[in-house]
Amino acid sequence: MSSIKKVVFAVSFVLLLTLTASGQIAASLDLETDTAKRNLAIDDLFQIKRVADPQISPDGKWVAYTVGSTNLKDEKSENQIWMIPTAGGEAIPMTMKGSSASSPRWSPDGKYLAFIAARNEGKTQVWLLNRLGGEAQQLTEVKQGVSGFEWSPDSSKILLTIQDPRPEDMESPNKDGGAAPKSKTQPPWVIDRLQFKQDVIGYLDHRRNHFFVFDMATKKVTQITSGDFDDSQAEWSPDSKSIAFTSNRGDNADATYNTDIWVVDVNNTDQGKSLRRVTTNPGRDRSPAWSPDGKWIAYVTTTDVKAIDYAAVYLAVIPAEGGTPRILTQKLDRNANAPKFSTDGKTVYFLLEENGEHHLARIPVAGGDVTRPIGGPVAVSGYSLAKDGTIAARISEATVPGEIYVSENGDLRRLTSTNDAFMAQIQLGDVEKVKFKSKDGTDVEGFIYKPTNFVAGTKYPTLLRIHGGPVSQFDRSFNFESQLFAANGYVVVNVNPRGSSGYGQAFSAAIFADWGNKDYEDVMAGVDYAIAKGYADPNRLGVGGWSYGGILTDYVITKTDRFKGAITGASEVLYVANYGHDHYQRLWEQEMGLPWENRQLWEKLSPFNYVQKIVTPTLIMGGEKDWNVPVNNGELLYQSLKRLGRTTQLIVYPGESHGIAKPSYQKDRFERYLAWYAKFVKGAQATTAAK
């Protein structure tokens, strides 16, 4: 594992962002003084820090946030909690290296900063830092650990999210205080649920996530919800007496994706058996947020149940006692998320997914126009509000990994510079947002990444890289993968084809039960656009993607021989083979029908049935324990191509689920990407062959 060579000369790098009158980020000005930069390399993935979860203090003077880092040598990732003044200044580490911590949350009285961490080889617990200084103190002692928490508005209590324990969690320790010995033989899984699998978790039992109240004065823990249901997204009422939360509490919850907003009294004595159901929509209602006066709850909702994941996600408000909801963003026809009321209760803030961008938006509770306190060519992925209305947000740009910003009275300022010194060494490719017509005249957008030191008029080897989902989008955030390909001399075409989010429900739902048709035409139109612009060499084209990006890659190579090399990661090819083997039984049934009742459609859409048409050299990849898109799909494709005498290779990462997590495997995957494309797209022997 080679390390990154350090640049020996001093670098000065300042990024200035100004705000236009309409509230958009106007420009970034690079004032660096160095004259020599290098291209992005694979190992740089482990040098770039992951800044996230901005939490502004109640008085608006500080922002706590997390910084994630990865140690390739030790195969380890961890988070540290930092704090920075909103007035600007030096960031202060609040937790130590070597002990990962997450979810920083200020007490509403501003005295404490709490977080969750697993220390001293124990389970994850809530820890407490006095704002004035000192060591963190362990607050909870839950045998099975804590997965989340929220302060009550009066700071007297903390709501804990805890999963029901395993039998071994409750085993008594040995006389010497150590853990009880574990049986050498794992007992069999006893499965009786309709939804019995989930990626990363594995086989599902009846252990559920419920809420408990921790009293700060007495240290007593009281369970307030229970049952064979999972409860999540808890929000305290302003008077600290009730909790609004999200749960699917139907008679057969495993058969639907419906969730509703519920309210429970924190002083109930029946473990939440007596609840108040606030919403009754058969679709997904989630992410509740109370108005300051406690009379309203804002939330996000999908009203078109039949459209499943393709349905638009709207912002709505409803009386806290229940009643008729008002959908505030239906005319907008874009996805909303993470609502929060303004301090005066007159508007609701939310994250808005729109046309390859993510904005922080707001709308009056009474209805009206949507405005964007933070908009423009950016990706906002998290925010919090202080009592005085100051906003802390995480923002990324195409050439800037995510950092923390603060907005006061419309003035947006960048607070952190976590990656500036490192990024000042790197020459990045230019990113162009493009718009073009698909085969049937539909307007489609995307992004084109140009090689570093791009020369106009030169035709470059070009990669069509397809996003997952399919309900997702390429956006303005920093894209390491695309920049890595650009650093290696490729034009990269990232298209948001039909099926993508950010362009309205009709655009997304256009591929419902019709995969590999309109979306295929859209991504191919993106390639043709790059060729017409003179960027792409039509004789040196490659294609690839992960998850649905791999699925659409499979369609592409069964429909055309234009690509010289393909990489399909975590893809599906024979859909009936997934039913009961992946964790998508509900989606399969709702989109395509039961396989024994509607088998013709299942077979028509399966790329496996056209595998003999594939002539493109194809690298197939997946995780051994992926139950999102099981690797048996890759094995089916590999076996078929090998039997047909095609050029192919199968890579399976041991112990990995859908998202490849182990750092050395992440590096290996990128090495194989570059080697495969270098050999078959550039036509040269790979110079960095993976071991």
pLDDT in tens, 448-476: 999 999 999 999 999 999 999 999 999 99
Average pLDDT score over residue span 149-157: 96
Alpha-carbon distance of 282 to 303, in angstroms, equals 7
Residue 190 CB partners (closer than 8 Å, separation 6+) = 205
Give how far Cα 375 sits from Cα of 24, 27, 198, Å.
Answer: 5, 12, 36
Predicted local confidence at residue 19, as pLDDT: 30
Q: Token pair 């961890």 is at which residue? A: 78
Predicted local confidence at residue 131, as pLDDT: 79
Average pLDDT score over residue span 160-180: 71
SS3 of 9-33: CCCCCCEEEEECCCCEEEEEEECCC
The string of DSSP letters for 366-426 reads: T----EEEEBSS-EEEEEEE-TTS-EEEEEEETTEEEEEEEEETTEEEE---TTHHHHTTE
Percent of the chain whose predicted confidence (pLDDT) is above 90: 83
pLDDT tens across 175-191, in order?
454 555 566 788 899 99
pLDDT tens across 578-592, in order?
999 999 999 999 999
Give how far Cα 513 sits from Cα of 438, 472, 473, Å.
Answer: 20, 17, 19
- Is pLDDT at 574 greater than 60 in this prediction? yes
Phi, psi values for residue 579, rounded to 5°:
-65, 115
Contact assessment for residue 212 and residue 146, using Cβ atoms and an 8 Å cutoff: no
Nearest to 544 by CA among 653, 651, 428: 651
Both tokens assigned to 205: 């039992």
Alpha-carbon distance of 373 to 22, in angstroms, equals 9
Nearest to 555 by CA among 607, 514, 618, 609: 607
Count the Cβ atoms, other than its own, within 10 Å of residue 122: 12
Residue 489 CB partners (closer than 8 Å, separation 6+) = 451, 460, 461, 682
Both tokens assigned to 544: 């690839």
Nearest to 31 by CA among 12, 8, 9: 12
- Is pLDDT at 645 greater than 70 in this prediction? yes
Nearest to 535 by CA among 467, 434, 445, 440: 434
Give the pairing of strands 391-397 and 400-408: antiparallel
Average pLDDT score over residue span 634-640: 97
Alpha-carbon distance of 118 to 102, in angstroms, equals 10
Alpha-carbon distance of 556 to 527, in angstroms, equals 12
Q: pLDDT confidence of 642, banded at 50, 70, 90?
A: very high
Predicted local confidence at residue 178, as pLDDT: 53
**CB-count burial class (<10 Å; 0-12, 13-18, 19+) for 144:** middle
The string of DSSP letters for 31-59 reads: -------EE--GGGGGTS-EEEEEEE-TT
Nearest to 402 by CA among 425, 418, 426: 418
Contact assessment for residue 156 and residue 216, using Cβ atoms and an 8 Å cutoff: yes
SS3 of 590-643: HHHCCCCCCHHHHHHHCHHHHHHHCCCCEEEEEECCCCCCCCHHHHHHHHHHHH
Alpha-carbon distance of 405 to 474, in angstroms, equals 22
Q: What is the DSSP letter of 3?
A: P
Higher pLDDT, 432 or 171: 432
Nearest to 257 by CA among 599, 675, 584: 584
Nearest to 284 by CA among 314, 320, 264: 314
pLDDT tens across 385-410, in order?
999 999 999 999 999 999 999 999 88
Alpha-carbon distance of 691 to 570, in angstroms, equals 21
CA dihedral 29, 35, 36, 37 (to 10 degrees): 0
SS3 of 185-201: CCCCCCCCCCCCEECCC
SS3 call for 263? strand
Side-chain-facing half-sphere of 229: CA atoms under 13 Å: 24
Amino acid identity, residue 300?
V
pTM: 0.90
Average pLDDT score over residue span 677-681: 98
Contact assessment for residue 25 and residue 377, using Cβ atoms and an 8 Å cutoff: yes
Amino acid identity, residue 63?
V
Predicted local confidence at residue 451, as pLDDT: 97
Both tokens assigned to 50: 């992951």
Contact assessment for residue 359 and residue 351, using Cβ atoms and an 8 Å cutoff: yes
**Sequence spans of domains, the chain:** 428-680
Q: What is the DSSP letter of 254?
A: G
Nearest to 246 by CA among 230, 258, 232, 264: 232
pLDDT tens across 310-360, in order?
999 999 999 999 999 999 999 999 999 999 999 999 999 999 999 999 999
SS3 call for 505? helix
Which of 14-23, 110-119, 323-332, 366-375 shows the lowest mean pLDDT across its residues?
A: 14-23
Best CATH choice for the domain 428-680 from the list 3.90.1200.10, 3.40.50.1820, 3.10.580.10, 3.40.50.261: 3.40.50.1820
Predicted local confidence at residue 536, as pLDDT: 97
> What is the distance in angstroms between the CA of the first residue and the CA of the last residue of the chain?
11
Predicted local confidence at residue 173, as pLDDT: 55
